[in-house]
Structure 1
Amino acid sequence: MPRRPRTRARGTASHRPTRSTRAVAWSCPPQGCLMANSVAALSAQDEDVRTRACPLYDETLALFTRRITEARDSGEIDEDIDPESTARALIAVRQGIEFLHKAGLSAEELQRAKNAALEMIERSVGR
């Protein structure tokens, strides 16, 4: 499928994430995220784990929301983007990528999943 030409948002910033942004967004150590692993393993049987995990999610959501708001306000992404909804979606996508990694997908298939997620994100922020 041919790619749509990229347009620019307000100002001069390009919509396309930088290579360093892609590296940080999709780096995944072999053992995964300690917090995500612990919550996934223990939350079903331990109320204390659930109680502690929710504020961590809230902090992560707030951080993502702040950064997305900054990007929107600086013209890096579309001004119609809802920062909090976008933050929730990015957290869910990131956790899904981590799940696929832990499930043992081949490096090639994992890369295809990452690329598909990035293309979806780039299309949604670059209108």
Structure 2
Amino acid sequence: MRLVIGGAYQGKLYWLLQQTGYTSSDVAYTLADAQRKPILAALHLEIRKLLEEGREPMREVEALLQENPAVAVVCDEIGCGVVPVDAFERAWREETGRVCCMLAERAARVDRVFCGIATCLKREGTP
């Protein structure tokens, strides 16, 4: 499994497609579709949707990893900046952070993309 993180509109998905040779048709935007596609984009939006539905994002993402352990996950960094006053907005950011921590721990590789330039944060075999 691979995790790609970075700010909004920083070129994460484009960079990943260039690195892997996959095309836009290989990209899933829901957890259900990601069970059979190699890339899941916009994980942060899926987590928001799951929370709105009263579901447990951590459990759902773990189920995805059981079904598709080689998936590459793309997620916006949403926890930086001003802490929202709205409780749901805070919960969404916190849950997204927790899920990303779990993914980073399990990932063979973690990259952060900023202005279209990637920095490798973790490679298989490094803590």
Larger % of helix: which? Answer: 1
Larger % of strand: which? Answer: 2
Bigger CA radius of gyration: 1
Tell whether the structures are fold-level matches, with TM greater than 0.5.
no
Give the alignment's TM-score, normalised by structure 2. 0.31
